[in-house]
Amino acid sequence: MRVLLLVPAATLLLSSAAAPADVVEYECKVRATGETQDVKVEVELTVPTDAQVGEEMVIGWHGSYVQGSELRAPAAGLEDGLKLYAYAGISGIDKLTSATGVAALEPLIPGAPVPLPATTVNLKTTPKNPGTGTVHAASINFGTSPSERAIECEVKNKDARTEYPLSIPGTGETTSPSPSETDETTSPSPSETDTKTKTPAGAADTGGGGEAGPDGRVLIGVGGLLVLASATGLVLRRRRLVAGL
């Protein structure tokens, strides 16, 4: 029976790896008043071990305050319906820099600690390329939307953060290879049927006459008439000579 119970647990470990809580120090600023607070949060990240290129992956985020270092709601300047926006930074993998998630919060009480979600927040992102990198806890914000932030919390102890390994197998985005020598082609020389009629500048394009143009055709016509007239004169002269004989 013990062996059967261990199999499901091993299966769960293959899909994600939960890391021990990491104490992250934040400087939180209330945008409405400019007030700042130093806050410490124990952040536990669950990094997937089965991430794939082109598929959405989820990094679990769970945070709890270090006692005595809570973020406290200001007396005024906060709207109802605030949400937590949590982020994880990702390094070492091309075109994959962060994951983000959102969770609703309980109503705030002025002067009391701003509540953090009791359940794990899913931070989502989609890798475009394979690689091996690391994941670390990043900033957290509180607001009604990602762009409407009431409180912004930036990491102070960046160098002390734990880096959790992330591996993404497979193949990534590819670009079309440059053509090889065997692929190079040259434009064929135009055939006789492709040769276009040329028209001198300033002359009307009549669609015939080749390169001679309208003026050239007039000269050719006149020359033809002269030749015909000369030939007719020779014929008449010959007839007169015959008659004289």
- Residue extents of the structural domains in the chain: 14-168, 209-245
Residue 69, SS3?
coil
Residue scoring higher pLDDT (105 or 18): 105
CB atoms within 10 A of CB 150: 21
pLDDT over 70 at 132, yes or no:
yes
* pLDDT attached to residue 96: 97
The pLDDT confidence band at residue 201, using thresholds 50, 70 and 90, is: very low
Average pLDDT over residues 222-230: 44
Does this model's pTM top 0.75?
Answer: no
Per-residue confidence (pLDDT) for residue 63, from 0 to 100: 97
55 residue type, one letter: E
Tell me which of 89 and 15 has the higher pLDDT.
Answer: 89
Do 153 and 71 touch, CB atoms closer than 8 A? Answer: yes
What distance in Å separates the CA atoms of residue 44 and residue 22, rounded to the nearest whole number?
6
Q: In the predicted model, what is the mean pLDDT of residues 91-106?
A: 96
At residue 205, the pLDDT reads 36
- Greater confidence (141 vs 174) lies with 141
Q: How far apart are CA 194 and CA 182, in angstroms?
A: 27
Residue 172: pLDDT band (50, 70, 90) is low
Q: Above 80 in pLDDT, residue 137? A: yes
132 CA to centre of own chain: 21
**133 torsion bin: left (phi>0), alpha (psi -120 to 50), beta (else):** beta
Query: Within a 10 A sphere around the Cβ of 93, how many other Cβ atoms?
Result: 21
Which tens digit of pLDDT belongs to each residue from 13-62?
A: 345 555 567 899 999 999 988 999 999 999 999 999 999 999 999 999 99
Give mean pLDDT, residues 69-78: 86
